[in-house]
């Protein structure tokens, strides 16, 4: 077979993608989504349940849970979390709930959130959250079926 420029270009474009896929499939994704070891971008997870939406946590008010550092806006919120972290931690380790429903993981932003049946769900963006909201029960069922297998 003769390699043409088209073949070489195709190989050049495909090789990096294949490497990413191979690396992702071999690597274990952390159980909690963090940036620099900080869960949910440093937002106070308890504040979502108080109706305040995303509130920045104080880097001096923290606790460690499941290998991540969680920040809180107040000592009271930290105490609530420490008393029952499962009640306040976002579902699917803080990864995008829509992505998990589709069979993969993605990062999240504090502004793209919803509380459904007393549980916090985060999304990649507010646009993705709108997609999530089109069928929340269906997406939750799919995400529950995929979790935690999507971690690798």
Q: Has residue 9 been placed in a domain?
A: no
Q: Has residue 6 been placed in a domain?
A: no
Q: Has residue 51 been placed in a domain?
A: yes
pLDDT in tens, the chain (152 residues): 444 444 444 444 444 444 444 334 446 889 999 999 999 999 999 999 998 899 999 999 999 999 999 999 999 999 999 999 999 999 999 999 999 999 999 999 999 999 999 999 999 999 999 999 999 999 999 999 999 999 99
Q: Which residues pair with 38 in a beta bridge?
A: 35, 69
pLDDT for res 27: 63
Q: What is the pTM of this model?
A: 0.82
Contacts of 29 (CB under 8 A, 6+ apart): 105, 150, 151, 152
CA distances in angstroms from 132 to 12, 76, 110, 149, listed in the order given: 35, 31, 15, 20
pLDDT for res 28: 80
pLDDT for res 59: 98
Provide the number of structural domains found in the chain. Answer: 1
Which residues span the domain enclosing 101?
Answer: 29-151
pLDDT for res 76: 98
């Amino acid at each position: 077979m003769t390699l043409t420029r088209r073949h070489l270009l195709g190989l050049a474009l495909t090789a990096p993608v294949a490497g990413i896929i191979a690396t992702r499939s071999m690597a274990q994704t952390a159980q909690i989504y963090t940036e620099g070891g900080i869960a949910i971008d440093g937002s106070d997870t308890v504040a979502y349940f108080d109706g305040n939406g995303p509130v920045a946590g104080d880097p001096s008010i923290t606790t460690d849970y499941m290998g991540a550092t969680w920040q809180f806006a107040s000592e009271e919120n930290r105490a609530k979390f420490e008393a029952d972290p499962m009640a306040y931690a976002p579902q699917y380790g803080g990864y995008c709930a829509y992505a998990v429903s589709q069979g993969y993981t993605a990062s999240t932003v504090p502004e793209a959130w919803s509380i459904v049946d007393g549980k916090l769900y985060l999304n990649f963006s507010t646009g993705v959250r709108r997609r999530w909201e089109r069928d929340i029960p269906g997406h939750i069922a799919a995400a529950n079926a995929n979790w935690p297998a999507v971690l690798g």
